Amino acid sequence: MLDVVIIGAGPAGLAAAIACREADLSVVVIDEFMKPGGRLLGQLHQEPDGVWWNGIEETKQLTTNAYKLGVDILCGVSVHHIEKIEQGWKVHTNETTFTSHNLLVATGAAEVPAPIPGWTLPGVMSIGAAQVMTNVHRVRVGKKGVIVGVNVLSAAIARELQLAGIAIHSMALPAINTVTKDAGHPRKVMEALLRIAHLAPSALIRFGSKLAKNDWIRNMALKCYPKNGVKMWDMPIHLRKAVIRINGKDQVESVTMCKVTPDGERIKGSEETVEVDFVCIAGGLYPLAELAAVAGCPFQFIEELGGHVPVHNEQMETPLEGLFVAGNITGIESAKVARAQGSLAGLSIVKKMKKSTDIEERLNEAMAYVKQVRSNATIQFHPGIETGREKIAHAFKEHQHIS
């Protein structure tokens, strides 16, 4: 019987495996993808200090350390069921069944689809799929495209596509529908963009973002927003235009855009056609937590964390004995935060399995480090992340009290 099974070979899962193996625990890491790394594999961006964050290199470091410690990483293996047993957990996969005293679910996040007429045409993909095809598989997604959805994720990946020599005509809003209420609302999108304006290459944009923190200035900025968009990395970002339709017979041939009011309402007669051969839809991310649900873990909906997240405490423990979580399953944050959470979860498992004189001190240091990484994060996907963390910690205490 293993000491721990870890589902997910992303930054959280690999960091946790390393922490567990350093304490000589037996570990198996399972991931359905063909190689370890998770979303790290597709990430490539330049930090404000000029340093490049290369997800593939970060993955190499983590996997090298894990293999040196004897971590067994099984890729191309899918988990389809989890059940609680008296001594721990039973994890059923498409190849075999594992039993372990502890289980860490580090399954990450998935993208939210944003339907647009024509979105089933070949050449339409999620922004995350474009990232993986470009940075992992080295496949050119097209010659010229449009990104539908203006958010933290789309801005970061748009730059990655440009660096790969792919032309981006522009980024624009999705037309407002029942799914895209916030994503298609210019005012709400502008508020979200203020959190990443410090990454802009233009000093004018950075300065303007500071002024735009005032409500009155934001409203004026939207009313006077340039008809050709505001350029970032020579790529127009439109907050007063929306993509209302993707056109083509057998594949993407063009998109139809129209102007919108500051509240996102279409302006009739303003339609225009833009010829492109691919479209990326950026709908955002949500915690991929189905396996935690199968395990019987209680959940809480917390908007600041990106949706429904498994109830857990600051040490990444859930209310279920021997079940731990880490990474974006606990809330949408950066890969750096996920890695720090993974190390913390690993130490929590070590604490449970082994009585060590220094484990409490190391746990406290790991918890402090997670907070430090979070506070220093270049990009935050959701506002009020600290409030979200407080809410989930309170939910854990409430559940413990009820139990």
One DSSP character per residue, 189-202 reads HHHHHTTTGGG-S-
Indicate if the alpha-carbon torsion angle 290, 287, 111, 283 is positive or negative. Answer: positive
Q: Which of 225-239, 342-356, 362-376 has the lowest mean pLDDT?
A: 225-239
Query: Helix and strand tally (H, E) in the chain?
Result: 11, 21
**pLDDT for 196:** 54
Same fold, 2-110+285-402 and 113-281: yes
Record the pTM.
0.88
112-161 residue pLDDT tens:
878 899 999 999 999 999 998 998 888 999 999 999 998 878 888 888 89
Secondary structure of residue 316 in the 3-state scheme: coil
- What percent of the chain clears pLDDT 70, i.e. is strictly above it? 88
Quick one: fold of 113-281?
A: FAD/NAD(P)-binding domain (3.50.50)
Rounded to whole angstroms, the Cα distance separating 356 from 166 reads: 53
Dist. CA 286–CA 147, nearest whole Å: 19
User: What confidence category does residue 198 fall into, taking pLDDT thresholds of 50, 70 and 90?
Assistant: very low
More confident residue, 206 or 275: 275
CB 303 within 8 Å of CB 388 = yes
Query: Domain ranges in the chain?
Result: 2-110+285-402, 113-281
Residue 176 confidence (pLDDT) above 50: yes
Q: For domain 2-110+285-402, give the fold.
A: FAD/NAD(P)-binding domain (3.50.50)
Top-confidence residue, 102 or 158: 102
Confidence of residue 222 (pLDDT cuts 50, 70, 90): low
Mean pLDDT of 195-200: 52
